[in-house]
Structure 1
C-alpha cells in the first residue's frame, strides 16, 4: 500500500479524547514523515495540542454553529485529502465532515456508529469490543496498513509553563493534586470525601493542591472542599492554562480526579492517577498507561442500577445516575493513596 500524501484527522473534542489522538499522530509521523497531516480540532483543545510539530491545525468553533462549520470548509476549500480519519461520531462532526473532500473516509465500525456516521464514511476500523478509547482511536491507522505498536505523546510544554509551575510550590514535599470536577456532573464525588482524603494526605506530610478551570461549577466545588479542609490546600482553581496544568503534572506525585480530561493529560506525562470510577468503566476510559491506583466501582454500579454485572452490559455504557459516585467511600481512596505513596517515585 502506497504512503498517503495527505491525511485529515477530525477529532474536535473533548480534552481527554484529543489527548488520545496524539499517539496516533506520532504513529503516522513515524511511518510517513513526508505526509501532510491536517487536524480539525476544537478551540479549547487546540490550546493543548496545537503546537504539535508537523501538523497543520484547523480550528472548529463548535459554539459558532453553522458559521463555525463554514469557516472550516472555507479554510480547506480546494484541498483534497488522500484519507479522512473521521474519529468523532457526534452528529455535528458528521455534518462537518460532509464539506471535506477525501478519497478514503475512514470511520468507526457499525457497533460504534451513530448519528448518521455511516453515511459520511466509506471505510471502517476493525470491529472490536473491550478496547480502551485510546486503542480505538489508534486503530484508525489500520485501514491504511499501519499498526499503532507504540504509544507516545510528547505534547510540547513551554519553558514558561514549567517556570510558572515551579513557582507554585517548593520541591521538598510530595504533592497531591486534586482536580475534583468533571464536565459530567454525575461523575463528580462529594466535596466532604475529597476533603477527608486531602486531610489524610496533609497529615501524612503531603502538600495538597486544588486545581480546576474557571467555570462557576468548578469554583463552587473548590469552595465546598476548602470549607471542609482542616488545613487549607494551595488553591489554584481557575489560575492555570492547559499548558501550565501539564507542567504541574510533571512536578507532582499523584493526581486525584474523576473521569475527566485532566486524568488523561496527567497520564500522558507519566503522573500517577488515582481515578474515581463508578459512572464509567476504567478499562475503557481510565488512565491508559497505569490503572493500579484507581478506585473501580463500575461493576457495583452496574449491579445496583441495572441488576447485572458490568460484563453483561454493552461495552462503554455510562452509568451516570444520581448517587452513583457514592459507591466510592473515602476509605477506598485513602487505601489507594497509601498504595501509590508507597510505590517508589520514578
Structure 2
C-alpha cells in the first residue's frame, strides 16, 4: 500500500559520500510513494549527482552558510506545505529548518553523537555493535513506512555518464585484467595515506600487469599529477576531468579502487566496484567502513584512535602512525587477494 504522504521533503546538505549512501533510500522512498512529490534539499555543489534521476521531483539547493541563506530557503520550503519532513543530516542548519517547518509527520536521523564523543574524547566504547550509515538511513525512512527491501540498490547512472566513461577509460585488451583505480585525495589531510605509499603501491600493481587509473576532483589535480609522474607505466590520470556521475561510471569499469576514507570509496561501492580503503583517525563504529563483501578496510590498532569524528583535526602526535604504519606491501597483498576472489553481484 502506498505511503499516505502527498509531498515529502528530505534534507541532507553534505558530504558527497553521505549523499551517495542516501540514494538507495531515496529510491526505496519513491517505490513506496510512487505518486508523491519528493524534494531533496542539498548543497548546490552536489546537485549534479541527481542529473537525469527518475526518483526525485525536484532537487532544491542551498548555496551559502549564513543566516540569510537559511532564511531564504526556509521561506521557499514553507510555501510547499509538506506532509512529511525528513532530516537525514542532524546538524544545526538542518535542525533549524526541521523545527521551523510545519508538517503532519517529521522525523530525524539518530547519529548517536554521545557514543561518538565518548569514543573520541574518553576512548570509552558505548556503541552496542556497529551500525553502518546505510542502516541508519534505513531505520530513519522505516519511520515513514518505507520497507527495507532486500538486495543492493546501485547508484543509477545516465547513459551520458556511461558514454563519457567509455570514452575516458578504453576497454581492456583481450585477456588483460580490468584496470585498478586509485584515489589518493581526501578532504582532510589526516585521512590521506602517504603520497609515497600510493606511488609504491601503484608501481607494485603495474608490475603485476594491472593498468592503473587516477581519480579525483579539481582539488586533487596537482597531487595526482605528481604521483603519476613517479609511476611507470604512466597511469591514466582522469583527475578533475569527469563529473561525479562520470567518475562513478569510470569506477564501474574498474576491477577495484584503492582509496582513503573519502567519497570515492562510497561512489565505487555504489556501482558495485570493491575497494581497498585506508582508515586512520576514524573507526568502524562510526558507520563508514566498506559494505561490499569483497571490499577490504586496512587500519592500524592504536590507543589514540579515533582522534576525530571526520578527520578534520590534526594528528595529536604529528606522526599519522595510524596510516603510515600500513605498508604498500600489505596493501598490495590485500588488493591481490581481492582481485583473485571471484565477483558475485547481488
Q: Shorter chain as normaliser: what TM range?
A: 0.7 to 0.9
For 1:200, the equivalent position in structure 2 comes to 204
Match of 2:25, SS state, is helix
Q: Contact (CA 8 Å) 1:41, 1:57: kept in 2 or not?
A: no
Match of 1:39, SS state, is strand
Q: Residues 174-199 of structure 1, C-alpha deviation per residue, up to 9 Å, x if partnerless?
A: 20111111112210011110011110
Match of 1:285, SS state, is coil
Match of 2:218, SS state, is coil
For 1:124, the equivalent position in structure 2 comes to none
For 2:96, the equivalent position in structure 1 comes to 95
Greater mean deviation of Cα atoms: 149-158 or 10-19? 149-158
For 2:144, the equivalent position in structure 1 comes to 144
Return closer, same or farther for 1:320/1:136 CA change in 2, 3 Å cut-off. farther
Return closer, same or farther for 1:73/1:47 CA change in 2, 3 Å cut-off. same
For 1:293, the equivalent position in structure 2 comes to 296
Deviation at 1:52, TM superposition (A): 2.5
Deviation at 1:88, TM superposition (A): 1.1
Instruction: Indicate yes or no: 2:11 matched with 1:10.
Output: yes
Distance in 1, Cα, partners of 2:51 & 2:139:
22
Deviation at 1:342, TM superposition (A): 0.9
For 1:155, the equivalent position in structure 2 comes to 155
Q: Residues 5-46 of structure 1, C-alpha deviation per residue, up to 9 Å, x if partnerless?
A: 222111121111111111211222222222222111111221
Greater mean deviation of Cα atoms: 269-278 or 141-150? 141-150
For 2:118, the equivalent position in structure 1 comes to none
Q: How many residues align?
A: 322
TM superposition score normalised by structure 1: 0.83
Q: Contact (CA 8 Å) 1:278, 1:327: kept in 2 or not?
A: no
Q: Contact (CA 8 Å) 2:294, 2:338: kept in 1 or not?
A: no
Match of 1:276, SS state, is strand
Q: Contact (CA 8 Å) 2:268, 2:275: kept in 1 or not?
A: yes
Greater mean deviation of Cα atoms: 40-49 or 193-202? 40-49
TM superposition score normalised by structure 2: 0.83
Which structure 2 residues correspond to residues 169-208 of structure 1 after superposition, within 5 A?
A: 169-172=170-173, 173=176, 174-208=178-212
Gaps of 5+ in 2: 116-126
Deviation at 1:154, TM superposition (A): 4.0
CA RMSD of aligned residues (A): 2.8
Distance in 1, Cα, partners of 2:57 & 2:96:
21
Distance in 1, Cα, partners of 2:195 & 2:263:
19
Return closer, same or farther for 1:262/1:285 CA change in 2, 3 Å cut-off. same
Higher relative contact order (Cα pairs below 8 Å, separated by 6+ residues): 2
Distance in 2, Cα, partners of 1:14 & 1:153:
20
For 1:258, the equivalent position in structure 2 comes to 260
Match of 1:105, SS state, is strand
Deviation at 1:259, TM superposition (A): 0.8
